[in-house]
Every structure is written in C-alpha cells, then in structure tokens.
Structure 1
C-alpha cells in the first residue's frame, strides 16, 4: 500500500470513482481506500442464476445528461433505452385506470404545490390535501424516492431533485453496479477491505496534512477526498477530528432513507408478462412496487421504501418475501405461489460501512447539502450523492460530486506539485 500519496480517496463508490477518474493523469499520486471487499458502494450488481441483478442503483436516471451514459457508451457497454413500465398496472389489477389517473393527478398537484407554493414549514407533508384520498399512495411514492415519510422530507429538497430530473430513464443489461465497479481508471491504486478507522489532521509531519489510520497501517497524505455516506460521517465507526463537527452536523440533517430490493425467481409457467409493472396496494404506504420480468428475465424485482424497507431491516428478508408473495397472490391468484421463490435481497440498512439507501434533507435542512460539500482547510474535500444540490440520491450525482471534489483538490495541490 502506498504510505505517502499526494491524495487519498476514501470510498470506491460512484463518487470515489468519479474523483479517481478526474485525478488520473494529473501527476498526483492517488490511493483509493474502500472498506468493502468490492468497489461500487451502493452500486452493486450480483450475478445470480445467470442474470446480472442490481441490488443498488439500477436505472440511468436523467439518462440524457447522466455521465454514466457516456461512460457506458465509451466502454462499449450496451444500454437499453426502452421506456420504463412504471405508472402502468398490469391488466389494471387492484388499481384500475380511473383510480390511477386520480392518484396521478393528486401527485401532480402535490408536486406543483411544492414547486410554486411550498409550505412555510418546508415539511413535504404539509403540502398534502387535507383528508386527500391518495395520501397513502403519496407516502408510498415518498418511500420509493426519499426512503422516508413526507413528514420527514424537506419540500425544498424534494422539489430541487424533481425539477432537475429529465424523466429519461434507461438501463444497463449487464448491470449498473458492474459499470461503476469497472470504471476505475487504469492503474488506479485501490485497496479493498481496508476501512479507515481514524482521520487526523497532521500538519506537523514533513509537509503532510492528513493521516488516515487503517488496520494495515497509517497513510499520510497532503489531502483526502471523503466520499463516505452521511450515516458513516455522522457516526462513530471512524474517529473524526473535532474540527469536522460542522460537517458531521450537516450529515445528521441529511439522513439515509430506507430502501431495499427483493428479487423473486419465476419458475415454470406463470401469468407474469415481460416488462410489466404492478403496485401491490396503492392504499398501503408500505406496499411493494413490482417490476415484472425486467428485460424479459424470469424474476420479479420488488422495490420497498420507507415503512416497507424498515420492516425488512427489523424482521429480515424472510417475512418481506412472504408479504411480497402474498401481495402478488392477491392480485394474480393463489396459483402463483407455486411459481415464486425468494432469490436475492439487499440489506443496505445493515451494511455497517453504508447504513442505508440514499440521503434526503429533513424539513428546513436543504442548506445542509452545500454545507456538507464545503472543503476543509484545503486538505479535506467532501463528495458523495448527499453533497449534490439537485442530483442527490443518484449515482450520477455521486459521480459528479467526486469530479467536483477532485477539481477542488487539484486547484490546491497541483500548483504545489510543480
């Protein structure tokens, strides 16, 4: 392991890889430290039963301006540009067209209020229609998008993402996580399974400015780019210097939401049509959202947010799989139980080095994003989806933040390197 690089990147997720790619060719020696035994962070493709299944990010959101689209094209990685099936309800089961239209109008009205007449409280729930018939549906949407209930979501923050999104969503058949993990620049010095346990400001050591302690020894560097999640930054797994208390406070105001994925295998004949979608129960805020046979594969991807995802963390995947099968059987008939079996489940809440899905600002706390993104003393630079003003919660926002942090570091370090 390089003991005295110019710069250390902590984390080899989308943000860390973005930083490493920007630093490549700069003339600065760079070391990337990753706590997990794999690169990618919250982008993780699992090869199971001959299929590439994404347990983390799976869609190129805002694909027409997403930098991962260009990276995939440059690498010759196939992109599926067919439209998503979200918003449809297979054969109108449990959610007929008229009700879907009513629910969609309620969502549009609520979104418009957030953008044009946001509540003074900045609490997204305060923009709901009193006694509105689709509140549970909107809470489910909040769970998918923010990982939390509307009472704990900043209206301003939610609207910032919604306004910036282009609604162009594409997929990578070989896996989004696989693309992210394969995108470190050639020759990058990467150490996996090497968690940082302490960060120390080390101005007195022969011109070095930061010390990072690991189980394999201490690394001394002129600067570090920190891409850890807000859960890690606010927590105690890493010993942080007191000077970073304002950054850690900002992280507490940008908690990670609860989101998990379950994959059910489809065996034999079934009524499940390729590239279809169904919402389990639009009147249940904890309902699963089921993407059926994505890309024609014999699986159903169940996406859970908010209360539904927290139940997975509390009870484990077994009861969650059972609830998912119950919902599908209620819609498609009891015979489908015989062709569905649990295949794969995520556990982002239980991943100690991550601690959840993606960030949302608490009410009144949207300004925590730029506060978290500020450099410290020309030696610590911050990246990660939570530091992006509009593309938070997404791998492209994470990547862009890593590039931004690397450019900030280069502006400081490169003149001194000459």
Structure 2
C-alpha cells in the first residue's frame, strides 16, 4: 500500500477510468499527483474476474463502444491486449423460440421509429420524457422499454430525450478478449495510487485544499473528483463550503442499473458461439442472454432497470435463478441440468458505486456540463456522467479525466 503524502499538487479521487485518464494526462506536467481509491483494486465499475477456469467475466463494462472513436482501443494495443471485433449479437436472436424472424423485423421497425420520433422532438428543442414517444398501444412498447433498461439502466419514463439524442453511437462495438477490467488494471499500474483510501471531506475554505480520508489528511493545490454521481448526490464525500449546484447536477444524473450474471454451460456445442437469446418479447422485465461469448462454455445474462433492482434486492443468486428459469422456458427443461451459476454483479448494492451508469432525467440534459464545470480554479470534476456524448461508457470516463487534467494544468 502506497504511503499517503502530507501534501501534493493534485489529488485525484477515484481510480476508475476517469481517475486513471487524469493521472496519465498529468504524468509529464511537473505537478505531483496521487490517486486516492477507496477500493482495494483499480477500475471502479470495470472489474474482470475469472468466473471459472477458462471463463473470463467482466462484471462491469465489457464492450469497446464506438470503437473507432474509443481511446481504450489504442491503449489496448499499446498494452498488448487482444481486441475481438466480432459483431455484437444485440439485434439478433439465435433461435425462433417464440420470436420468429418476421416478428423480430417488426420489432426493429417499431424500435427505430421510436428513436426517430424522439430524435425529431429533441432537435426541435424538447427535453421531455422519452416514454412520451412510444406509439400508444404498440405491442412492442414493453420490449422497447426493456432495451432502455439495458442502454440507460432505467425505463424510458426517466430518460431525457435531449440526453438520449446527445449520445454518440458509431455502431462499431468490439471487446477486450481478456477483459475490460483487466485492461483498466494494466492501464492504471504505472499511476501513483493509494488504495483502501476513502475520502470523506474536501475542505476548500482555505488557501490550500484539505482532504480528509480513512488513512489521514493531506493537502493539495487542486482536486479532481471522479466518483459516481450517486456518491456526490448522497454526500458520501462532503464539500466545505457546500456546493449545492454540484449536488443538484449530480441528482439530475442518477445512476441507472445494469447487472450481469454468468452461467457455466455443459454441452456447449448445443448453442452457437456469440449468439443471443431474449427471455421474453412482450414484457419489460426480461433478461437478454449472450450465448458462448468468445466461444467460452457459458451464457452471460444481462438485466437492467427496475427488474434488475428487484432481483438485487432478493439477494445473492437471484439473477442466476431467474436466468435459468427464462432460458429453460425458451430452450426446454433439459437445459436446467446443463446450467450452473458462477458469478453475478450487484452494482446497486455496491456502496462505492450505488448503480451502473448515468442517465439524465427529463429536463436535466444540461446537468452534464454543469457537473463538469470547474469550481474556483481548484476543484475539477470528471467521470462518465460529465461526458457530453460518450456518457455511460468507460472511454467517455477516461476522456473526461484527461479533460479535467488539462483544465487543472491550465490553472497553474
């Protein structure tokens, strides 16, 4: 464990993608720097585990979204992490299990029409609730809402159309073969880190900033805050004097919830590599299942929004039990003996995350810029929630950290 200095030029709070991006950007600035991380590991909401021998599992972020504009692609190449460019299976279904191809086409038409209506309204200056742009009575509305729980971590009635329209998706999505979290750990290895160091107070009332932590107090000229919005909103870290505008902005950008579960699969040849299966097509409370990712003998389940929160509240094992029930309902009772729970995430119950990734509430799309704005030339803010167009992604977080570091350097 790195010892805590009494004084540095720049303190970075959080060793997730944003904090590491800031640390790398400050490397040759001539400013002394330390990254304070409450966890005992690097990565924040990026965390790779070996769920079983030969089965890599990203409990958090797992895709290099908008890969042609994703800064982690070049980082992966520099660090010799293999990139898998297999096309993601999200729009396909590998079996006709109650969802024949004609109905899948109808669903895609309805989904695209919904986005077109919301985009037109946003471009006309509206910032109301995305659910208003569902076609009344459309049979696919519950499933479109389910897609929102995966993308936004919440249902459409909590999503700003301006924010939804601002998100940039180049539709090129790759994966890190040995795990996004593992890549983040390697990226952070050269950074000056103090793990197991939880910050409780940033006192900016004096000439120098005073940062109180679980391992003692240090002072700094500048601080870069990269913690998730829910921690700011809940005042897990307090500011003195208080920063009500930052709290308000953070509360307008709550973290939605997306959770994953990994199941071992006996007789994997019965299912296709990198296939997809949806647990239901006529309701919002459903899972989406990635079959044999990277050809591994497993199924990765994905749940979001209110349904994910309900399953989290049921305790450990609830995601696995629900996944097995849904898969068996689709593929037959023989699959119950072929599936074995391995691991699952519970991000809402993680006290240092309290959710998965941010969405702007209706009327709050502007809160991303408000949260990102520096305070007094000494306090700087980064994290995926501050990214104007790549929010909810690891590369959006990393790039925001580099932006905050550039702001801090400019204030020399």
Q: What TM bracket, shorter-length normalisation?
A: over 0.9
Q: SS where residue 240 of structure 1 aligns?
A: strand
Residue of structure 2 equivalent to 1:136: 142
* Structure 2 partner of 1:115: 119
Alignment of 1:349-388 (within 5 A): 349-388=348-387
**Number of residues paired by the alignment?**
406
Per the alignment, residue 64 of structure 1 pairs with 68
Which whole-Å CA distance do the structure 1 matches of 2:28 and 2:179 have between them? Answer: 28
TM-score of the two chains, using structure 2 as the length reference: 0.96
2:28 matches 1:29: no
1:170 matched to 2:167? The reply is no
Structure 1 Cα separation of the partners of residues 258 and 116 of structure 2: 25
> Secondary structure at 2:355's aligned position in 1?
coil
Deviation at 1:121, TM superposition (A): 5.6
Comparing 166-175 with 78-87, which one deviates more in the overlay?
78-87
Q: Residue 312 of structure 2 contacts residue 318 of structure 2 at CA under 8 Å; is this kept in 1?
A: no
The aligned residue for residue 416 of structure 1 is none
Could you give the per-residue CA deviations for residues 231-250 of structure 1, whole angstroms, max 9, x where no partner exists?
A: 00011322222441101110
Cα contact 1:7–1:30 (8 A) shared by 2: yes
SS at match of 1:317: coil
Matched residue of 2:231: which SS? helix
Name the Cα RMSD after superposition. Answer: 1.3
Name the SS for the 1:86 alignment partner. Answer: coil
Alignment partner, residue 157 of structure 1? 163
Q: CA deviation at 1:320?
A: 2.5
- Equivalent residue number for residue 287 of structure 2: 288
Deviation at 1:117, TM superposition (A): 2.6
Native 8 Å contact 1:13 1:181 kept in 2 = no
Out of 65, 68, 93, the position equivalent to 2:97 is 93
2:318, 2:189 → 1: CA distance?
41
* Pairing of 1:175-186 with structure 2 (within 5 A): 175-184=179-188, 186=190
Which 10-residue stretch deviates more, 111-120 or 354-363?
A: 111-120
Q: Which residue number corresponds to residue 206 of structure 2?
A: 203
Secondary structure of 1:126's match?
helix
SS in 1 for 2:256: coil
Paired residues of 1:370 and 1:387 also in contact (CA < 8 A) = yes
CA distance in 2, matches of 1:312, 1:5: 44
Residues 175 and 268 of structure 1: CA distance in aligned 2, closer, same or farther (over 3 Å): same
Structure 1 Cα separation of the partners of residues 266 and 38 of structure 2:
37
Is the CA contact 1:24–1:185 (under 8 Å) kept in the aligned structure 2? no
Task: Note the alpha carbon deviations across 1:158-215, whole angstroms, 9 max, x for none.
Answer: 1111xx21000001111001111211262x22011111011111424xxx2x111012
CA distance in 2, matches of 1:140, 1:394: 19
**CA distance in structure 2 between the aligned counterparts of 1:400 and 1:219, rounded to whole angstroms:** 27
Distance 1:99 1:309 in 2: 26
* 145-154 or 84-93, larger mean C-alpha shift: 84-93
- How far apart are the structure 1 equivalents of 2:200 and 2:214? 8
Deviation for aligned residue 1:336: 0.3
CA contact (8 A) 1:55 1:261 kept: yes
- Residue equivalent to 1:189: 192
Match of 1:76 in 2: 80
Distance of 1:236 and 1:254 partners within structure 2: 14
| Matching residue of 1:325 | 324
Q: 2:47 aligns with which of 44, 47, 56?
A: 44
Q: TM-score, normalised on structure 1?
A: 0.95
Q: 1:258-273 alignment to 2 at 5 Å?
A: 258-268=257-267, 271-273=270-272
Structure 1 CA distance, aligned partners of 2:108 and 2:258? 22
Gaps of 5+ in 1: 414-418
For residues 160 and 236 of structure 1, the distance between their equivalents in structure 2, rounded to whole angstroms, comes to: 28
Contact map agreement 2:40 2:196 (CA 8 A) in 1: yes
Q: Secondary structure at the match of 2:350?
A: coil
The residue that corresponds to 2:225 in the other structure is 226
